[in-house]
Amino acid sequence: MLELKDVNVHYGAIHAIHDVSLTVNDGEIVSLIGANGAGKTTILHTITGLKKSTSGSILYNGKDLTKVEPSKIITLGMAHVPEGRHIFPTMTVAENLEIGAYIRNNKEEIAKTLESVYEKFPRLKERRKQLAGTLSGGEQQMLAVGRAMMSKPDIILMDEPSMGLSPLLVKEIFKIIKEVHAAGITVLLVEQNAKMALSIADRAYVLETGRIAMSGDAKDLLNDPKVKKAYLGL
Amino acid sequence: MKMPKEKLISYLINLVGIVVLFLLFVALFQSGVLGSRTNYVKGIFTTACYTIVLVASLNLLVGILGEFSLGHAGFMSVGAYASAIFTNALAGKGLSDLALFVLALIIGGVAAGIAGLLVGIPALRLRGDYLAIVTVAFAEIIRVAFCNFAITGGGRTISGITKLSNFYWCFWVMVICVTIMYMFVRSRFGRTVKAIREDYIAAAASGINVTFYKVLTFTISAFFAGIGGAMYAHYMTAMIPTNFNFNYSAELLTEVIIGGTGSFTGSIIGAAFLSSLPELMRQFSNYRMLAYSIVLVIVMIFRPGGIFGSWEFSLVRVLKKAKNGELFAKKNKGGAENE
């Protein structure tokens, strides 16, 4: 469904991403793990066009994404949950979700999706008239995911969903990701919390200073001695 | 979306409220209670009307889009001069005054809108302070240009503009302009623009074309500033480019902030109050700038979001409360606001 081939990205003179190739197949959860500054977010930004690649190709269902405007990416069925949640703080929860459905026009269909999002996140329904900035961190993350789901995407790119959350909420968020996946949405997950990310993923890639260091089945990586030592602290 | 009947009723209630307010003004002026001061008071109210349009249009930028413009007087002057040149060319050619006035307003609005578009396309890649600086520069360029063009009087006063603005017409123009702007804010477009103000990255990730909406809002804001300028020109009948200086832009911005960024109720009351304040305080003329600054400082200390914040007056809500007996002795101010 999504295929990156030999992608290189530069920030000025700094070569941030070296020949990265990765694939995400239909219906998978794929995790991209790595330390701070490894280039995980840069890869997501390159996919959504927020950052331009210097070489390489990014194909999504056979379409070249490098030539698509960032605001048009979502119309292709790819939603992005940015790092740090980026909700609209002084708008209500309901308004946030409505903006998520911005690219859709059929009001009845939108209302249906809204119902299904509220069903998944009853907390958001309870607080639909509350200003989003007054939600707790976990609820804001739910809102960010819910907003992405409002566009009825085929794939969701998630950037550090566990960032800044308590261990209890981290578990909650990973449960949410599983539920999103159960709803038939493919997930590309970028995470620093390698243990959690590997435990829910089908496959994973390990990124080290801009290069793919390892890749494979998530369960295998979870038991790999090198990964254990470097990322799981075992 | 739902309950369109209730929406219709609320529109009707607001329309009735506005008409009642209008009739009160008519009664005030026709009854002769004010005696020889009638025309003077009418003048103050007319000033308030065009100031409200200007301040509300600036509030679109500051309150809804979240960007500062320190050059709103520039757009106003484009509208003022375009409409004045237009009416001077067409005056006495058989058009009725009302038709001429409406055409002049539209010409003024469109001219300013085009200026807004031209400035907006390159400038709106910038944000915050940098955009504010560009708007200052734009207003200065316009002022200097108008001081040098022959058609705008070349720095001398352009006078003899047909006096078309009177209080009754200006009142309705103001009502129509504010209603359109209010509907814009409450619509899907308005929500989209607010999302950009809140977080432009997330807005873009939701599929919103950020630059397009910013330029659109900028253009609409300039359009209404041009209408305000046209009303001004046809009320003053004479003007000079230096009227539209930086101080005037800053004054408009002050009125937006005092009234409450994002609140049209605030803009209306802020503009009406602050534009008539200098007149009301004429007997203390030595101290009025002092009083003005003290008001500003006090508001900023106690209500940093402006007097009304982003709260909107709603006639329907007041009536509902009155029906339920929850309303105490509160009178409704600023009835021109609509739900």
More confident residue, B26 or A232: B26
Q: Is the pLDDT at B335 greater than 50, yes or no?
A: no
Tell me the C-alpha to C-alpha distance, in Å, between residue A71 and each of B32, B189, B203.
Answer: 61, 16, 8
- Tell me the pLDDT band of B51, cut-offs 50, 70 and 90: very high
Tens-digit pLDDT profile for residues A17-41:
999 999 999 999 999 998 888 889 8
| pLDDT of A158 strictly over 80 | yes
Mean pLDDT of A49-54: 87
Contact of B74 with B61, CB cutoff 8 Å: no
- What is the rounded average pLDDT of the residues A141-157? 92
pLDDT digits (tens, 9 = 90+) for B107-165: 999 999 999 999 988 887 888 888 889 999 999 999 999 988 888 877 788 888 888 88
Residue B336 is predicted with a pLDDT of 43
- Provide, as residue numbers in chain A, all residues whose Cβ is less than 8 Å from the Cβ of B202: 82, 86-88, 144, 147
B-chain residues within 8 Å CB-CB of A48?
205
Q: Enumerate residues 6+ apart whose C-beta is below 8 A from B293.
A: none
- Which of A120-134, B13-27, B156-170, B299-313 bottoms out in mean pLDDT, i.e. has the lowest? B299-313
Model confidence band, residue B330 (pLDDT cutoffs 50, 70, 90): very low
Q: Where are the domains of chain B?
A: 44-308
Report residue B1's pLDDT band, with 50, 70 and 90 as the boundaries.
very low
How far A2 CA lies from chain B's nearest CA (Å)?
Answer: 18
Q: What is the mean pLDDT of chain B?
A: 85
CB A118 within 8 A of CB A124: yes
* Predicted confidence band of residue A202 (pLDDT cuts 50, 70, 90): very high
* pLDDT (0 to 100) of residue A234: 62
Go through chain B and tell me how many residues it has.
Answer: 339
Residues on chain B touching A100 (C-beta within 8 angstroms):
206
Among B71-75, B94-98, B169-173, B327-331, the range scoring the smallest mean pLDDT is B327-331
pLDDT in the model for residue B195: 92
Neighbours of B92 (CB within 10 A): 8
Query: Taking a C-beta distance cutoff of 8 angstroms, is the pair B270, B307 a contact?
Result: yes
pLDDT tens-digit map of B248-257: 898 888 888 8
Mean pLDDT of B283-298: 76
A105 token code pair: 């026009």
Distances (CA, A) of B301 to A66, B21, B296: 50, 33, 9
**pLDDT in the model for residue A97:** 93
Q: Give the nearest chain B residue to A48 (CA atoms).
A: B205
Q: Which residue matches tokens 């959504």?
A: A48
Predicted local confidence at residue B337, as pLDDT = 44
- Three-class SS state of B151: coil
For residues B90 and B104, give the distance between their C-alpha atoms in angstroms, rounded to a whole number.
Answer: 10
Distance CA B246, CA B140 (A): 8
Model confidence at A94: pLDDT above 90 = yes
Identity of residue B222: A
Distance from CA of B186 to the nearest CA of A (A): 12
How confident is the model at residue B223, as a pLDDT? 97
Out of A71, A87, A91, the one facing B204 most closely (by C-beta) is A71
Whole-prediction pTM: 0.83
Q: Which phi-psi region, left, alpha or beta, contains residue B148 (left: φ > 0; alpha: ψ -120 to 50)?
A: alpha
Q: The tokens of A229 are what?
A: 């030592």
Percentage, residues of chain A above pLDDT 70: 99
Mean pLDDT in residue range A95-114: 90
Phi and psi torsions of A127, nearest 5°: -105, 25
Give the pLDDT of residue B261.
85
- Concatenating the DSSP letter of every residue in A29-65 gives EEEEEE-TTSSHHHHHHHHHTSS--SEEEEEETTEEG
Q: Give me the pLDDT at residue B3, please.
A: 56
In CATH, B44-308 is 1.10.3470:
yes
Q: Measured between CA atoms, how close is A145 to chain B, in angstroms?
A: 12
Say which residue the tokens 């026709």 belong to: B30
Amino acid A146: pLDDT:
92
- Per the prediction, chain A carries an average pLDDT of 89
Length of chain A: 234
CA quadruple B294, B298, B299, B304: dihedral, nearest 10:
130
Residue B250 touches partner A, C-beta closer than 8 Å: no
Return the SS3 of A205: strand
List the beta bridge partners of residue A29.
A187
CA of B65 vs chain A CAs: smallest distance (Å): 13
Is the pLDDT confidence value at B339 over 70? no
ipTM exceeding 0.90? no
Average confidence (pLDDT) over A145-170: 90
Give, for B43, the enclosing helix (H) or strand (E). Answer: helix B38-59
Q: Which of B186, B198, B212 to mutate to test the interface with A (most CBs of A within 10 A)?
A: B198
pLDDT given at position B338: 42
Which chain A residue shows the shortest CA-CA distance from B202?
Answer: A86
